[in-house]
Amino acid sequence: MAWKTALIAQIEARIHAPASPAPGPAQWPSVTRERDQYRHVVVQGVFQHDRETMTQAVTAAGPGFWVMTPLRTDAGFTILVNRGFVPSRLRAGESRPLGLVRGEQRVTGLLRITEPRGGFLRANDPERDAWRSRDVHAIAARRGLREAAPILSTPMRHPIPAAGRGGMTVVRFPNSHLVYAITWFALALGVAVALGVAQRAQRRGDAP
């Protein structure tokens, strides 16, 4: 349990740390899930709305899609930005024109590692443009993105109106060991109570 508690503390520290520039091409080989997942980063550049990708999602707001838009950064590389959640009726870009912003944009968010292959039950199907996970490499290949980062950024608070419902990143670390310990303690306690009740009943039955 100690290691899980330490991990949670590390992630919380990354989330609340001041935003630092998103890693560039020279740093990509050294990016790892253990060290970089949920880093607070900032990127600046121009969105490429014509290369937007919609990834299926089920959230507390219901079913819909994550809006994944490439951002061509000032540094010359491209990073996918998860601009937030939209319901199915807003899947088409023209249905949310206020979100199709032009010009230089600054986005602050959390760095996320690619999610290859697909969802738990269904794989991604690039040929049909059907995406069940945020597979950065496959999406970049499908959209013809040059120098695409093997990571994506999820804005904590999206500054762009009507782009999507942002701030829905869920950081969850189930402390399984603690759950198991509590479960077994509860079971042991229940058995002890049951034995105590049975012994008292037996003593009463044996009494003259």
72-128 pLDDT per residue, tens: 999 999 999 998 888 999 888 888 888 888 999 999 989 999 998 777 678 999 999
- With helix as H, strand as E and coil as C, how does the chain read? CHHHHHHHHHHHHHHHCCCEECCCHHHHHHCCHHHHCCCEEEEEEEECHHHCEEEEEEECCEEEEEEEEEEEECCCCEEEEEEEEEEHHHCCHHHCHHHCCCCEEEEEEEEEECCCCECCCCECEHHHCEECCCCHHHHHHHHCCCCEEEEEEEECCCCCCCCCECCCCCCCCCCHHHHHHHHHHHHHHHHHHHHHHHHHHHHHHHCC
Q: What is the mean pLDDT of the chain?
A: 79
Note whether 72 and 104 are within 8 A (CB).
Answer: no
Inside any domain, residue 168: no
Domain coverage including residue 20: 2-155
- My answer on whether 13 and 112 are in the same domain is yes
- My answer on whether 185 and 101 are in the same domain is no
Inside any domain, residue 48: yes
Lowest mean pLDDT among 62-76, 154-168, 186-200: 186-200
Q: How would residue 198 be classed by pLDDT, with cut points 50, 70 and 90? A: very low
- My answer on whether 151 and 180 are in the same domain is no
Residue range 40-68, pLDDT digits in tens = 999 999 999 999 999 998 888 789 999 99
The tally of domains found in the chain comes to 2
Inside any domain, residue 181: yes
- My answer on whether 99 and 196 are in the same domain is no
Q: What is the pLDDT of residue 156?
A: 62
- My answer on whether 135 and 61 are in the same domain is yes
Q: Quick one: what percent of the chain has pLDDT higher than 70?
A: 73
Q: How would residue 183 be classed by pLDDT, with cut points 50, 70 and 90? A: very low
- My answer on whether 34 and 92 are in the same domain is yes
Q: How many other CB atoms are there within 10 angstroms of residue 24's CB atom?
A: 14
- My answer on whether 207 and 139 are in the same domain is no
- The arithmetic mean of pLDDT across residues 155-184, rounded, is 49
Inside any domain, residue 162: no
Distance CA 44, CA 105 (A): 6
- My answer on whether 58 and 109 are in the same domain is yes
